[in-house]
Structure 1
Amino acid sequence: MTEIAARAGASIGSLYQFFPTKELLAEALHASNAEALETMLDGLAPRLAGKPAEALADVLFAEFSDFLSDHPAFVALADRRSIDPKRKKATRQKLRGQIVRLLTEAEPPVPRSRAQALAIVILHLLRVAVAIEGEPDLEGRGAVLDEIRLMLKQHLSGH
């Protein structure tokens, strides 16, 4: 908390006035990051509408990678055990819904029932990519990430 206050240019007392516990601060940061991710996904809809579903793989992996560079604490904050289960479920449902929208607006559109299953798979593939990215001594990390993206792209091209 001291380091956070120093980086914010505020006193520790001011920080505790707004966030009496570390958990409340983590919750606020997570909510802000989740909102930024939702905004990023909303911004993809006009860019991807009418494009083949497999285009989603390249764009989503690139944009998510950029998002994580800009929000490095996102995954750690999202994986906290103390996160409110209702909020966690609501966030996941919203993210899945946004991916469903991207898939159903592709050309040709992915049927909604299939898009719902694919949205879950895509979010988990992104989590796998994050885990691989975070493995510092992994040789060929870029090639592994390319394979995940290629697998998804090929799978989506055959829908």
Structure 2
Amino acid sequence: MWQILRQIARTGIVTEPAPSSAAGEATTIQSIHQALLDILGQALTIRQVDAGSCNGCELEIHALGNPYYNIEGLGIKFVASPRHADMLLVTGPVSRHMEEALRRTYVATPEPRLVVAVGDCGCTGGIFGESYASCGRVANVIPVDVTVPGCPPPPIEILRGILSAVRRTKSARS
């Protein structure tokens, strides 16, 4: 026991320091929140679909729910059924096994539906591309409104992509 305590005392704190640009990013997040509320005026529901990703993008999407980004605080919620969704958030290259499921999810989502492809794999097929096991990018299977590149993209970029898709819909309705 004493050996462990001595080792802890010798090693000290080994975590990385907090990001220095936290104040600038916090104001960016607040401005995105306000823009979403101004455009929507109501809640936005998202169905997230993993079409064959490595789960890197899913980790970043889950980070949107933490207190720092607080996506639910501005009325954006993730739902389990595409029938209750306004937007599909699709990650990964579409595997052949997920191709039909993704099409059915798209058809089950009520109009006007939005589709956001997240990550390099969802945008371009990434390192997997098109093959016997992969259809490649999401746009090869269903229409995509906005792409969010990155491997994986940071949560703030995913939030910007959602805002961009909502703005396109708002301008199309006007």
Q: Same fold (TM over 0.5)?
A: no
- TM-score, normalising length from structure 2? 0.25
Q: Greater share of helix residues, 1 or 2?
A: 1
User: Which of the two has higher C-alpha Rg?
Assistant: 2
Structure with the greater relative contact order (CA < 8 A, sep ≥ 6): 1 or 2? 1
